[in-house]
Amino acid sequence: MRSQGSDPDETDRDDDQNPHPVFERGGWGGGPRRVRFRGPSGDMPEFHVGRGWIILGVAVLVLVVLLSLFGLTVGLATDAIWFGSVGFANVFWTRLGTQVLCFLGGTLVAFLFLWVNVWLAGRFIPKGQLRRFSLDDLLDRFNVDRYLGGGTTGGGPFGDPPTRTIPRSVDTVQVPDIGRPVFWGLLAVGLLVALGLGGLVASGWTTVQLFLHRVPFGQVDPTFGRDISFYLFELPLYRLAQSYANALLLVTIAIVGIRYLVAVVSGASMPTPARVQLGLLAMLYLWSVALGYQLDRYELVYSGTSGIFQGASYTDMAARVLAITVMTVLAAFAGAFILGFAYTRMRTPLILTLAVWLGAYAVLDVGYPLAVQRLAVVPNQQAQESPYIKNNIDMTRLAFDLTDWTGSTYQPGSTVSQSAVQSEASTIQNVRLWDYRPLGQTLDGLQVIRQYYSFADVDTDRYTFTDAASCSPQPAPCVRQVMLSGRELDETQLAQLTNGDQSWVNQHITYTHGYGLVMVPVNEVAGGGQPNLLIKNLPPVSSGGAPTITEPRIYFGTQESNYVIVGAQSKEFDYPSATGTGGDAYNNWTGTTGIKLDTPLSRLLFAARFGDLNLLISNQITGSSQLLFNRSIQDRVQAIAPFLRYDKDPYLVVTAAGRLDYVLDAYTTSSAFPDANSYDPGSDPTRNGLAGDSFHHIRNNRKGGKDA
């Protein structure tokens, strides 16, 4: 019921005396608890949330959290076991430890910084009381009139602001003191922000590890005279730290600003310590920006200003270095003057510095480099850019390891004599006649034997032959170029042959591996135009001095494959009978690098990882059974060393002991080599194994290998 009085103070008296609580709660004996949300004066409909719905929501949230934690734990535990089984446990724990420490450190520093600042804001401004609020009063509490040219009388920097008389005609509203809920709400937002910043640091774990293990490159860049290791290992970490600081300071300024705004709205004052806190945060942010300018200076070695090469150019060194230096000084002074303004309210130095900063940005950072490029470089680009082009060529050769190239002159003759051909018999013998693509199709038709096998790829290599007939006209032993391909188990074909109706035992225990290979000399053709097979059939038979195969089984190949269990009660299928009428060969795994399934816990973990209950309950699995997964060599090396890049084509090698190994070339790359042109490998991994971001530096100093 509203008062009938005409006094504006009496208008909402009844509502003030009987305010509707935002949250209504019943006692334990008062029936089900309900939460009601109402608009002021009943303008909006009520919403009732029953106690059962609240309990259900909490239960669902707890269940989701527990399932997420369980999935994370299973993934980490099974990965740790797998890395240990392949001999790279130290790699896993180093990577995981670095990521966890970076995440925790980044999160903790960010949250503590945010919490301390929000807490200080609460200390500097007392909580407001229930009061009537007007926009005019808000402006007065922030002393906006002083900043815009009003009076400056008062009790000094730490004194009370001058009083302002608020007309009674100004419309006012009732505002509760919500400082405490806002404090905890801002802390919750701060925690989310801190988690995000922790993720930012954790994503740069390779940057941290490169910095910790940095070594001198032994050569300086021609632009700034710094050792190249500074650009490869140190500068990326400094940029990561500066980005982290920028984000943290910006978010802190926003959160603290909201805290002060809420406090002022609730009836608190805005004393000088509060302004100093905001000024100090703004100063730190601008100083971080100034540091970023200096990092920009070093990053000129990646500039593309010239348009014809990458690296520092004439315009960069003549104009942009000056602009960056001036902008650094102005940003630092602007930060200092903001702090001074917050304390003394002297606005003139700050306004002048900001004006000069904006003017310097327009003139020095934008206009001056454009003018230098257009007026000094473009009319005489060859002369102006020559020393920088030379730097670019020298550094590009160094980055891609092309410094040992030498030139020579070759004068071809008009005719080729018989004696010249005979003198190059070893070269002629290794001239390739077969193309790997049609050869692969031909081998599928001749030697696949069963449709659940396939020749995934054909590789070219050289081997030493001891057979005189194979080496002729060269003397034995000789080195011959051959083409070879492994006969791998094709799980897709196997599923099609059974119409997708495979038993779990067949899929994971019986059919576990491929078998054997074929080898073809590159320059020989057998009868009917077919390739001359030096190694063929099941089991593999070698002829013509080709290597003898002692271990033909291929558990680890190039094709995507499911997990398999070896050492189970059922034997593994080895190879089919030559006649197809029975007598298929079976075998048991003899290796020791699989994951042992000798405890209920290990079986439970991997059953959860693969979502396969049979791993837990099948009686095929014994105490000596082992689990093999990540069986594609590409998957294995990517899991072990994700920071390397790999060739798209693994190749098969027959060792001196007659075993089969798959080898994959690995490359270290960097996009931080100074003054060098970059190479863009594209984004399609089927066309280029180095697909991904462009890079300025590469070395093929690693190889990944696995005994098949």
Tell me how crowded residue 364 is: count the other CB atoms within 10 A of its CB.
19
Predicted pLDDT at 281:
93
pLDDT at 10 over 50: no
Predicted pLDDT at 363:
79
Q: Which residue has the tokens 């304390």?
A: 343
Asked whether residue 460 is domain-assigned, the answer is: yes
In 3D, which of 245, 209, 221 has the Cα closest to residue 298?
221
Residues 588 and 505 in one domain: yes
pLDDT at 481 over 70: yes
pLDDT in tens, 100-132: 999 999 999 999 999 999 888 888 876 544 444
**333, 366, 399 — which closes off a domain?**
399
If one counts the domains in the chain, the total is 4
pLDDT at 480 over 70: yes
Residues 339 and 201 in one domain: no
Cα angle, residue 500 at apex, residues 496 and 501 outer, rounded to 5°: 130
Q: Using 50, 70 and 90 to split pLDDT, how confident is the model at 27?
A: very low
Predicted pLDDT at 185:
82
The answer to whether 668 and 698 have CB atoms below 8 angstroms apart is yes
For residue 176, count CB atoms less than 10 angstroms from its CB and return exposed for 0-12, middle for 13-18, buried for 19 or more: middle
Mean pLDDT within 347-371? 79
pLDDT, greater one: 41 or 486 = 486
pLDDT in tens, 612-621: 899 998 898 9
Asked whether residue 230 is domain-assigned, the answer is: yes
Mean pLDDT within 43-49? 54
Q: What percent of the chain has pLDDT over 70?
A: 83
Residues 345 and 487 in one domain: no
Q: Between β-strands 564-566 and 572-575, what pairing exists: parallel, antiparallel or unpaired?
A: unpaired
Asked whether residue 689 is domain-assigned, the answer is: no
Asked whether residue 681 is domain-assigned, the answer is: no
pLDDT at 572 over 60: yes
**254, 270, 286 — which closes off a domain?**
270
Least confident stretch, 128-137, 311-320, 593-602: 128-137
Asked whether residue 676 is domain-assigned, the answer is: no
Mean pLDDT within 311-321? 89
Residues 80 and 101 in one domain: no
Residues 207 and 258 in one domain: yes
The answer to whether 299 and 172 have CB atoms below 8 angstroms apart is no
Can you read off the two tokens belonging to residue 671? 């996009």
Residues 78 and 109 in one domain: no
pLDDT in tens, 493-503: 887 776 666 78
Residues 459 and 515 in one domain: yes
Predicted pLDDT at 582:
64
Least confident stretch, 80-89, 120-129, 206-215, 266-275: 120-129
Residues 27 and 126 in one domain: no
Distance CA 56, CA 42 (A): 29
Residues 573 and 430 in one domain: yes
Mean pLDDT within 439-458? 87
Mean pLDDT within 146-174? 46
Cα separation values, 565 from 330, 507, 625, Å: 67, 10, 7
Distance CA 242, CA 193 (A): 17
pLDDT at 54 over 70: yes
**604, 633, 662 — which closes off a domain?**
633
pLDDT in tens, 652-669: 999 989 999 999 989 989
**Domain range for residue 501?**
420-633
Residues 552 and 493 in one domain: yes
Helix (H) or strand (E) holding 284: helix 272-298
How much is the CA Rg of the chain, to the nearest whole Å? 37
Mean pLDDT within 292-312? 89
The answer to whether 689 and 405 have CB atoms below 8 angstroms apart is no
The answer to whether 118 and 188 have CB atoms below 8 angstroms apart is no
pLDDT at 200 over 90: yes
Distance CA 612, CA 489 (A): 22
pLDDT at 47 over 60: no
Q: Which residue has the tokens 């007659």?
A: 658
Can you read off the two tokens belonging to residue 102? 């970076």
Residues 38 and 98 in one domain: no
Predicted pLDDT at 233:
93
Asked whether residue 140 is domain-assigned, the answer is: no
pLDDT at 212 over 90: yes
pLDDT in tens, 376-404: 888 888 888 889 999 999 999 999 988 88
Element counts in the chain: helices (H) and strands (E): 24, 21
Asked whether residue 160 is domain-assigned, the answer is: no
Sign of CA dihedral 174, 177, 181, 185: positive
| Range list of β-strands (E), 456-613 | 459-465, 478-489, 514-515, 517-521, 535-536, 541-542, 553-554, 564-566, 572-575, 585-587, 595-596
Predicted pLDDT at 232:
93
Residues in Cβ contact with 184 at an 8 Å cutoff, skipping those fewer than 6 apart: none
pLDDT at 196 over 90: yes
pLDDT in tens, 267-288: 667 788 888 888 899 999 999 9
Q: What percent of the chain has pLDDT over 90?
A: 28
Can you read off the two tokens belonging to residue 336? 């200092």
Residues in Cβ contact with 102 at an 8 Å cutoff, skipping those fewer than 6 apart: 198, 201, 202, 204, 205, 208
Residues 96 and 65 in one domain: no
pLDDT in tens, 508-534: 898 899 999 999 999 888 888 889 999
Asked whether residue 598 is domain-assigned, the answer is: yes
Mean pLDDT within 311-315? 88
Predicted pLDDT at 216:
92
Least confident stretch, 20-34, 272-286, 549-563: 20-34
Least confident stretch, 181-185, 197-201, 273-277: 181-185
Mean pLDDT within 624-628? 91
